[in-house]
Amino acid sequence: MGTERLDHQPPYRRRVNTVFQSYALFPHLTVEQNVAYGLRVAKRPAAEIAQRVAEALDKVKMTAYAKTKPSKISGGQQQRVALARALVNRPRLLLLDEPLSALDANLRRQMQVELKSLQREVGIAFVFVTHDQEEAMVMSDRIALLRSGELEQVATPREIYSRPATAYVAQFIGHTNLLKGDVRGGVVRCASLTWATSLPDGQALFSLRPEHVGLVGSGAGVSGGDAVRVRGRVLHQAFHGATELIRVECAEGLVLVVRTASGAGVQNEVELEFSPADAVLVRESPERK
């Protein structure tokens, strides 16, 4: 961190604090004493402790509960106390280990917003561990996507979504169509689909987001003369609120998932189109244990 090596230091000397998944608040101490813990063990003067604890509790709006034991407050409140307890030490980095996984969906969304604004306010890096792709997309400036302990890609949410590096990343974040193609002489062949490419000859794997596939004649089609078109039969339709996901079976066993606007009266037989530019080349993800 900065120019320091962290792995050579015992955890209690690192200027990194953690918000634990279970919050790990000390049950025998009050909210206030929990927050003061880090400063007390660092033997800060009492006046400074009192002031910084008060500030930290104020920041997470828990001042009213200062004298309460953790068992008497709700999960969301415990979460705030855990945050205050970590931030009061002015760490240079804050680790959050799935901090919102124990909260219900509503509270969770609310805390996501609060955490984000809190992070901007204190201006330090938050490393936020989550299994929730959407949460990662909403909250991050940068996402490090790990698979079995190994990095697949580090990038902004936008880049992760629009330019996934590997097939695993493409499938993990959002829906996608993985197209395995054969490149020969500047032409990609995937089942009955073909389009021009500048790739060298060989096998290639492409990720094509469902929203980049349009229905011909629906008005939401793809512009440009090089659009790839294919006919198919609708297998399945799933309602997702503003949009619908449709699975379409094309020739030679190819199945494409298409995102359309809800209620765009879809027939049994449809013609699909997409722009080759939206088929993003991805690395094959090797099978891992």
Only one of the segments 25-33, 163-171, 182-190, 238-246 lies at the binding site for other proteins (rule: CB under 8 A); that segment is 25-33
- Give the chain's end-to-end CA distance (angstroms, integer): 30
Structure tokens at 287: 């099978």
User: Per the structure block, which two tokens stand in for 50?
Assistant: 């009192």
Among 2, 3, 7, 28, binds other proteins (CB under 8 A): 28
Does residue 24 touch other proteins according to CB under 8 A?
yes
Q: Is 22 in the site for other proteins (CB under 8 A)?
A: yes
CB of 14 to other proteins, least distance (A): 8
Q: Is 44 in the site for other proteins (CB under 8 A)?
A: no
Residue 92 found at the interface with other proteins (CB under 8 A): no
Q: How far is the CB of 90 from other proteins (least distance, A)?
A: 11
46 binds other proteins, rule: CB under 8 A:
no
Cβ atoms of residues 110 and 104 within 8 Å: no
Question: Is position 74 an interface residue for other proteins (rule: CB under 8 A)?
Answer: no
For other proteins, which residue of 80, 85, 212, 259 counts as binding (CB under 8 A)? Answer: 85
Q: What is the dihedral of CA 258, 262, 265, 267, to 10 degrees?
A: 20
Tell me the torsion sign for CA atoms 133, 135, 138, 139.
Answer: negative
Helix axes of 75-87 and 31-41: crossing angle, nearest 10 degrees? 20
The correct pick among 77, 89, 140, 197 for binding other proteins (CB under 8 A) is: 89
Compute the least distance from the CB of residue 17 to other proteins, in Å: 6
221 vs 192: CA distance, rounded Å = 20
Which of 161, 119, 167 lies closest to 136 in space, CA to CA? 161
Backbone angles phi and psi of 51, in degrees to 5? -70, -50
Q: Per CB under 8 A, does 288 bind other proteins?
A: no
Binding residue for other proteins, selected from 1, 4, 6, 42, defined by CB under 8 A = 42
Report if residue 45 touches other proteins, rule: CB under 8 A. no
**Residue 153, interface with other proteins (CB under 8 A)?**
no
Residues in touch with other proteins (CB under 8 A): 10-13, 16-18, 20, 22, 24-28, 37-38, 40-42, 69, 71, 85-86, 89
